[in-house]
Copies of this chain bind each other. A is one copy, B any other.
Amino acid sequence: MPDTINLADKLALVHEHWSPHTVAGFNGHDVMVVKVEGAFVWHKHDDTDDLFLVLKGELDIQLRDRTVSLAAGEMFVVPKGVEHRPVARTEAHILLIEPKGTPNTGDAATAVERKVI
């Protein structure tokens, strides 16, 4: 990978929604960019927190008891084990950090494969 990672340039290479693309590794984690639109599935990660930073647009992270609303420049960490559902009314661009190999749906059977860009 090149030294400087320009997140907008990386996002220009992403053409699907809800498909995390890895742009860097960090302490056993993947640093990923994702384009999202619409509602994802309810899921949780029993072994890891889930870091969301909104780069463009707006994202709601629905929790069972409340909704966390994020705009560009805002972030939230979903604690491990907590059920959540990300929802974007219009396309949003997200920086996501999770351990390598974490299934995006919380379930390896339904997860999409991560691409490296």
CB distance from A47 to the nearest CB of B (A): 9
A64 within 8 A of B: no
The listed residue (B7, B23, B48, B66) touching A27 by CB distance below 8 A is B48
Q: Please name all residues of chain B whose beta carbon is closer than 8 Å to the beta carbon of A26 when the two chains form the complex.
A: 49, 51, 77, 97
Q: Please name all residues of chain B whose beta carbon is closer than 8 Å to the beta carbon of A76 when the two chains form the complex.
A: 3-5, 24
**In the assembly, what is the distance between CA of A54 and CA of B91, in Å?**
23
Q: Please name all residues of chain B whose beta carbon is closer than 8 Å to the beta carbon of A66 when the two chains form the complex.
A: 3
Contact indicator B6/A74 (Cβ below 8 Å): yes
Contact indicator A75/B3 (Cβ below 8 Å): no
Which residue of the partner chain B has the closest CB to A70? B4
